[in-house]
Amino acid sequence: MRSLGGAERRFAELAEPVRRDPAPSRLAYRMDRLWLTPMFRLAVRVGLPFVLAVSLVGGYLADDARRAGIAKSLADLRESVETRPEFMVKLMAIDGASAPVSTAIRKMLPVALPASSFRLDLEALRAEIEQVDAVASAELHIRKGGILQVTVRERQPAILWRTETGLEMLDATGHRVATLLNRAARPDLPVIAGEGADARVGEALALLDAAEPIRDRIRGLVRVGERRWDIVLDRDQRILLPETRAMEAVQRVIALHQAEDMLGRDLTIVDLRNQNRPTIRIAADINAELTGLETEVTGQ
């Protein structure tokens, strides 16, 4: 076998592949281990882009003129959207309300019409409308065509409460409806008086219903000591009711009146406060006549 020359030997050495150490370098090994850490991958994939983006945006917005321009552009965009015709409220329609209540509701509208529906807080407006004494409930929604529909359920006056300052109209629950300036404006409503009478409207109405046969003679009910009722009749007559079982007492008086025409006589007071011992008081002039007649009879 012949030996290789110098040139051939160098060529063979170059042609032979260089054998490398299969073990990774220390830096590569540490990077591979670090990449296997979830927090490191999250920081590289999310945190680094976020920081770069924030830095770029912060640098751009550092200029006051740029910030003002962006704010104006956003305001113009919002204005153009809110003032589109399909979002504009042009009219207000109110159903179920009397003329004074309707006028009060229109004055509560926070903006002048036409206005964008985005500027109307319907829930806040509904709550404000329901603060009106005469309003029991209200519903608001925007109808097609840009109409703000307000549907109101008003409180119905059921009784008049006479106070030191005047007459207050109350509903069946005792809630104030409005102030009445002239009693003649609502002659159909019964009258109650006395401290705490407004808290017992339901009881007063029940007593009035029980006294229906003499309803045309009743001038009103007076709450006495926040404990019981007096029924005031015409001809200066008064029925004093007990604290408890007042309904039964009224029914007893009505039965006696229908059987004996008791209230048609010259009585001033029918006292039923003691249910076991009812008493009556006759008129002063009749009492004087009876006293004089008794004197004459005794003298004879």
The string of pLDDT tens digits covering residues 223-239 is 999 999 999 999 889 99
What's the pLDDT at 17? 60
pTM: 0.65
Residue 6, pLDDT score: 62
Looking from the CA of 31 toward its CB, the CA atoms found within 13 Å total 6
How many residues does the structure list for the chain? 300
Structure tokens of 128? Answer: 């404000």
**What is the reported pLDDT for 14?**
57
Dist. CA 147–CA 114, nearest whole Å: 10
Domain architecture of the chain: domains with CATH: 85-154 (3.10.20.310), 159-295 (3.40.50.11690)
The whole-number pLDDT of residue 148 equals 92
Per-residue pLDDT, 7 = 62
Cβ count near 43 (within 10 Å): 13
Distance CA 116, CA 110 (A): 12
Spans of the chain, pLDDT less than 50 = 1, 4, 286, 288-300
Give kind and range of the element (H or E) at residue 178. Answer: strand 176-180
Note the pLDDT of residue 300. Answer: 44
Q: What local confidence, expressed as pLDDT, does residue 149 receive?
A: 93
